[in-house]
Structure 1
Amino acid sequence: MLNTAAALDAVDRSLLDALQKDGRATVGELAERVSLSTSPCWRRVRQLEESGVISGYHAHLDRHRVGYGVLGFVQLGLHNHTADTTAAFEREVLALPQVLSCHNLSGRYDYQIELVAPDLETFAEYLRTRIRNLPGVREISTSFSLKEVKRTVALPVDLA
């Protein structure tokens, strides 16, 4: 089993890079790209999946074409930081499909949520009715994306 980045060799990193670029590539196509035969390639991909290095596969959707014209970043301060409050907050955030990401932060705010909505009116209503009512929320500050310059979920696999 792979436990650390140090356990990844050059072939593993090449496989990861290839899969991030094309998650639908067949094992045969991957094997060709990394100069392996099919069976060893399949075993390596399976080992990367089993070790959790590859945590899943997905289709990347264009939010505009799906109907989400607004992307906002909501910074939240909580009343307190007890285990019960933060657990309740995080549990409810996990259940909100409009939340693309949620990060526990250092600094002034406790959390930042990346949130999508079809339009500003819907975003504002969602903020008032759902986000403001999350457990422990004391303070909210919102910024909107005016232009998305870069978005990726692909990680750089070359640590050099």
Structure 2
Amino acid sequence: MNKPRVKLDRIDRRILEELQLDARLSSADLAERVSLTTSPCWRRVKRLEEEGLISGYHARLNAGRLGYQVMAIVQVSLDKKDTQSLQAFEAAVQEIPQVLACFRISGRYDHQLIVVAEDLEAYGVFSGNYINSLPSVKEVYTSFVLKEVKAATNPPLPG
């Protein structure tokens, strides 16, 4: 069940905007950028974390520089769609580091995965060894990313 939307004032939005630009800002630098003193700014950040609005701080890595030259969007249809089968598939996917994201989706397929591989040959081996052997997999459809146009990591802040 979704939690109710957190109400944000102008200062909360500024804090979130600044942290999205640079999550490594010190409390003092963040406070200065949003025109607050350090203690009230720190308390607001802690409240936003406690309310679940800030779910973590991350470094975004460049997959290509790590040797992953292939990104694939993999759509998977399961032959069994009961709760136990869905949970088994989703638990297995979470254990595979090359799967960057997994979404349960509506439509023809049941799940969509974002996967990285060193090259096409490595993807072929990975697909055969991992994707096709996941619990209840019936059908797999793969599309390869030709160009990353936009990869936002955060939703837009409400106005």
- Normalising by structure 1, report the TM-score: 0.94
Structure 1 segments of 4+ aligned residues over 4 angstroms from their partners: none
Q: Which runs of 5+ in 1 are unaligned?
A: none
Q: Distance in 1 between matches of 2:67 and 2:117?
A: 8
Please name the residue that 2:9 is paired with. 9
- Measure how far apart 1:101 and its partner are: 0.5
Partner of 1:110: 110
In the other structure, the counterpart of 1:41 is 41
- What is the distance in 1 between the residues matched to 2:146 and 2:24? 32
Q: 1:122 to 1:91 in 2, by over 3 A?
A: same
1 or 2 for the larger relative contact order (CA 8 Å, sep ≥6)? Answer: 1
- Find the counterpart in structure 2 of residue 97 from structure 1: 97
- Distance in 2 (alpha carbons) for counterparts of 1:120 and 1:89: 24
Query: Which residue pairs with 1:59 in the alignment?
Result: 59
Distance 1:117 1:95 in 2: 16
Aligned counterpart, 1:138: 138
Q: Does 1:22 align with 2:22?
A: yes
Q: TM-score, normalised by structure 2?
A: 0.95
Q: Measure, in 2, the Cα distance between the counterparts of 1:95 and 1:9.
A: 39
Percentage of identical aligned residues = 48
SS in 2 for 1:132: helix
Q: Aligned equivalents of 1:123 and 1:29: distance in 2?
A: 44
For 2:49 and 2:67, how far apart are their aligned partners in 1? 33
Paired residues, number: 157
Alignment gaps of 5+ in structure 2 = none
Paired residue secondary structure (1:146): coil
Deviations 1:110-156 (A, max 9, x none): 00000000100011111111010111100000000001111121221
Q: Per-residue CA shift, 1:65-123, capped at 9, x if unaligned?
A: 11110000000000021111000000011111100100011111000000000100011
Q: What is the letter of the counterpart of residue 61 of structure 1?
A: L
Q: Secondary structure of the residue that 1:127 maps to in structure 2?
A: helix
Residues of 2 paired with 1:124 and 1:9: CA distance?
Answer: 49
Backbone CA RMSD of aligned residues: 1.1
Q: For residues 22-41 of structure 1, what are the alpha-carbon distances to aligned partners after superposition, in whole Å with 9 as ceiling and x for unaligned?
A: 01011111111111110000
Change (3 A) 1:51 1:6: closer
Partner of 1:129: 129
